[in-house]
């Protein structure tokens, strides 16, 4: 009887199990379409985004990749990197030009297996221009772009002469372009000349045009780390970090041994450079220029008396490293750096430096009054009336004159009557070998001033 009951339950549940299995099987047969956008300037940041998106598509075993394109172009070297990544990807890649695929965007589009365009979209105008977006770049760049357009079009079975004519205004193609103009196709023109497979209104329609009916679309989602990186790439955040760098260095020099200002400065340096380095903007040599600038400035402050060549070179190195780290320059070649980006970088660094100097003048005299520093620094004068006494210096040293044995920054060593004493100034730096006068003998060091 018991066995009969179990058999009845099994037979009753079997259809449901069979249906569930069929549903899972149908779900697993859905083809995965991976999509991401190229909707900004082609630069190191976009280069990194495309690289991460293509890698993620491979990890998810995507059956098809669709790029939604809307860009006026950008740096040739980054466009070449993206083009190469697309050509080397085994998964079929299609592009939907939502609005514009100009210049570098045209090159990237031609590298895809098929091109689809939204109503009113355009493709072409691939002449390489200067960073400001006006004048054409030197011929060596035009030649390189023409070569890439030709070879990419050939690789995808498109007319290489038309692709080249999108760059070269001197190339005339009968019935398509006249001498003196570069080719820019509308949707209908691109379709009739083999540079567009059809007019569609969405990514889903692109997929359907490829014959897929049962599919799921997976959109590229910027990872949490990438969102953090994007946050620190904001010029306002970069400016704040620069302010902390400068202020931290200054307060560490003024209160050596405290450690907190230096730690804040180093942390700000890391948070500043790492996001730009990961996105390809800050190069190794630019970070090296910044570090060398810091070293030269420290040498000027702690080793070499006065403020001269080392100090000036140090400041220039720091400002140069911070500025160049923000823009997609090729060494000191700014041909393809948008003038707006260069202006923003310079303005950010200059304003941050001015703000740091202003805050230093405002807050430096008040630091000792802050409760946060009371536990790590001697904020108050210890008067003899309160029971504090001097340890070792006789009153006879008061008003005595001597010379600095080391640089006072503001503390150091002095020589009086051939005897070496610990001393400190009233806050100013006094170079080695200068004449000084003792103005106080209280405490463990003599307080002096420059004579």
Q: Is 230 found in the same domain as 193?
A: no
Give 228 or 36, the one with higher predicted confidence.
Answer: 36
Give 25's pLDDT tier (boundaries 50, 70, 90): very low
Q: Is 107 found in the same domain as 229?
A: no
Q: Is 398 found in the same domain as 322?
A: no
pLDDT digits (tens, 9 = 90+) for 264-284: 999 999 999 999 998 888 889
What pLDDT, on the 0 to 100 scale, is given for residue 260? Answer: 81
Q: What is the mean pLDDT of residues 85-102?
A: 95
pLDDT at 10 over 60: no
pLDDT digits (tens, 9 = 90+) for 241-268: 999 998 888 777 766 555 788 889 999 9
Give 201's pLDDT tier (boundaries 50, 70, 90): very high
Tell me, what CATH number does 444's domain have? Answer: 2.40.50.140
Residue 12 lies in a domain: no
Residue 7 lies in a domain: no
Lowest mean pLDDT among 62-66, 254-258, 309-313: 254-258
CA distance 71 to 127: 14
Tell me, what CATH number does 62's domain have? Answer: 3.90.226.10
What pLDDT, on the 0 to 100 scale, is given for residue 14? Answer: 42
What pLDDT, on the 0 to 100 scale, is given for residue 255? Answer: 62
Q: Is 214 found in the same domain as 291?
A: no
Compute, in degrees rounded to 10, the torsion defined by CA atoms 36, 42, 48, 52.
20
What pLDDT, on the 0 to 100 scale, is given for residue 132? Answer: 56
Q: Is 273 found in the same domain as 285?
A: yes
Residue 54 lies in a domain: yes
pLDDT at 349 over 50: yes
Q: What is the CA radius of gyration of the chain?
A: 34
Taking the model in full, what pTM does it have?
0.69
Q: Is 111 found in the same domain as 255?
A: no
Q: What is the mean pLDDT of residues 26-33?
A: 72
pLDDT at 23 over 70: no
Q: Is 349 found in the same domain as 249?
A: yes
Q: What is the mean pLDDT of residues 124-141?
A: 73
Domain boundary at 346, 372, 398, which?
Answer: 372
Per the structure, the count of domains in the chain is: 3
Residue 412 lies in a domain: yes
Q: Is 237 found in the same domain as 133?
A: no
Give 368's pLDDT tier (boundaries 50, 70, 90): low
Residue 120 lies in a domain: yes
Residue 434 lies in a domain: yes
What pLDDT, on the 0 to 100 scale, is given for residue 373? Answer: 52
Domain boundary at 164, 198, 221, which?
Answer: 221
Q: Is 413 found in the same domain as 356?
A: no
Residue 232 lies in a domain: yes
Q: What is the mean pLDDT of residues 366-376?
A: 53
Compute, in degrees rounded to 10, the torsion defined by CA atoms 111, 195, 121, 171.
100
Residue 326 lies in a domain: yes
Q: Is 196 found in the same domain as 133?
A: yes
Q: Is 69 found in the same domain as 185?
A: yes
Give 131 or 6, the one with higher predicted confidence.
Answer: 131
Percent of the chain with pLDDT over 70: 83
Give 203 or 249, the one with higher predicted confidence.
Answer: 203
Give 183 or 178, the one with higher predicted confidence.
Answer: 183
Range of the domain at 438: 387-450
Q: Is 358 found in the same domain as 277?
A: yes
Domain boundary at 169, 191, 221, which?
Answer: 221
């Amino acid at each position: 009887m018991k066995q009969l009951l179990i058999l009845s339950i099994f037979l009753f549940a079997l259809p449901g199990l069979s249906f569930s299995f069929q549903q899972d099987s149908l779900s697993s047969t859905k083809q995965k379409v991976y999509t991401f956008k190229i909707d900004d300037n082609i630069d190191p940041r976009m280069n990194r985004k495309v690289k991460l998106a293509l890698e993620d598509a491979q990890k998810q075993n995507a059956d098809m990749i669709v790029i939604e394109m809307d860009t006026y172009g950008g740096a040739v070297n980054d466009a070449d990197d993206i083009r190469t990544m697309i050509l080397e990807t085994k998964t079929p890649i299609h592009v939907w030009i939502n609005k514009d695929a100009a210049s570098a965007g045209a090159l990237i589009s031609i590298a895809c297996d098929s091109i689809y365009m939204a109503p009113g979209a355009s493709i072409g105008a691939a002449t390489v221009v200067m960073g400001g977006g006006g004048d054409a770049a030197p011929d060596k760049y035009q030649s390189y772009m023409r070569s890439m357009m030709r070879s990419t079009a050939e690789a995808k079975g498109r007319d290489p002469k038309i692709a080249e004519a999108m760059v070269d205004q001197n190339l005339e193609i009968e019935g398509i372009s006249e001498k003196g103009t570069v080719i820019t196709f509308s949707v209908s023109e691109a379709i009739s000349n083999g540079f567009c497979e059809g007019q569609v209104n969405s990514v889903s329609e692109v997929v359907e045009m490829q014959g897929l009916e049962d599919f799921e679309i997976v959109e590229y989602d910027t990872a949490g780390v990438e969102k953090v990186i994007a946050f620190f790439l904001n010029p306002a955040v970069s400016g704040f970090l620069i302010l902390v760098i400068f202020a931290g260095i200054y307060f560490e020099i003024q209160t050596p041994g405290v450690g907190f200002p230096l730690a804040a400065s180093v942390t700000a340096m890391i948070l500043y450079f790492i996001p730009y380095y990961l996105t390809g903007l800050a190069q190794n040599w630019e970070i090296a220029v910044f570090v060398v600038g810091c070293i030269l400035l420290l040498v000027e402050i702690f080793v070499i008396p006065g403020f001269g060549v080392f100090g000036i070179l140090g400041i220039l190195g720091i400002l140069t490293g911070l500025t160049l780290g923000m823009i997609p320059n090729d060494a000191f070649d700014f041909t393809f750096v948008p003038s707006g980006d260069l202006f923003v970088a310079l303005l950010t660094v200059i304003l941050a430096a001015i703000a740091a100097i202003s805050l230093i003048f405002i807050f430096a005299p008040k630091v000792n009054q802050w409760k946060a520093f009371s536990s790590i620094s001697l904020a108050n004068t210890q008067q003899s009336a309160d029971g504090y006494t001097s340890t070792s210096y006789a009153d006879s040293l008061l008003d005595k004159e001597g010379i600095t044995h080391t640089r006072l920054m503001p503390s150091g060593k002095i020589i009086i009557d051939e005897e070496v004493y610990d001393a400190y100034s009233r806050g100013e730096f006094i170079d080695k070998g200068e004449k000084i006068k003792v103005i106080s003998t209280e405490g463990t060091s003599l307080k002096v001033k420059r004579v």
